[in-house]
Amino acid sequence: MNSEEKIIIKKLNKIGVDTRFISLYENEIYINNLKFSKFSRKKEDEFHEYYPNIKVKRSKLFQKICIKVSRTIKTQIEPRQTLYIENDGSIENILLYIVLEPYKRKYGIKITNEYEKNHIKVNNDCLDDFTIKYIDLMTNAEQITDKLEEKNIYPLTHVPYTWILDWATTNNIKYIKNKKYEKTISTEIIEFLEQHIPNVQESIKQSVNYLDKNNQQNMGKE
């Protein structure tokens, strides 16, 4: 956080905004949780008296994404860790930087785009990546399980890719690239299931989590 950002955060704190629940990114403020941030319209007007050119973004979709991320990483990160996010201009990594930015104030973490061995890598796999992988395993008659890399966190595990695209489009996010999912048997199966079962990808993810947890418990009893 540079000196200018520190001054902005200090001003927000002074007017009663809880900056643990807002993100500051490229001269814009994104509200992660409207209730907990206490960032009312009145406080927004007061803030704009000092910083009229800083936009305040209020998005229900972004708040939904932040809730998903918060529930996912609460057991994955520790205070004062350094998180590495690749600076590749991708839509996913831009989102990751924005949603994780408040954790500088919540947990005292650091975010960097220069990787070192002791850093924790922020993996940008989202819900679609996980479910496609599971269907791939199933169609190849392999065990359906999560194989997560060590020293990695996966904040977007429960965030559908459509949410990411919708958020970026609505907020005119400038990005260089985004994921392209090729048409495969696995994607066709998921598309078919989505037409008949609400939130099927999340259901698949939860089922795999349940199976993995049971397998670990059974192994512990042996």
Contact between residue 21 and residue 37 where contact means Cβ atoms under 8 Å apart: yes
d(CA 57, CA 32): 9
Write down the domain spans for the chain: 59-221
**The residue to which tokens 């809880």 are assigned:** 18
- The answer to whether 158 and 202 have CB atoms below 8 angstroms apart is yes
Instruction: Give all strands of the β-sheet with 82-84 in edge-to-edge order.
Output: 110-112, 82-84, 120-122, 152-153
pLDDT along the chain (222 residues), means of 10: 89 97 95 97 97 96 98 93 95 97 95 95 97 95 90 97 95 87 93 93 94 73 59
Alpha-carbon gap, residue 109 to 81, rounded angstroms: 5
CATH of domain 59-221: 3.40.50.620
Q: Alpha-carbon distance 207 to 189, whole Å? A: 17
User: Could you give the CA distance from residue 95 to residue 125 in angstroms, rounded to a whole number?
Assistant: 12
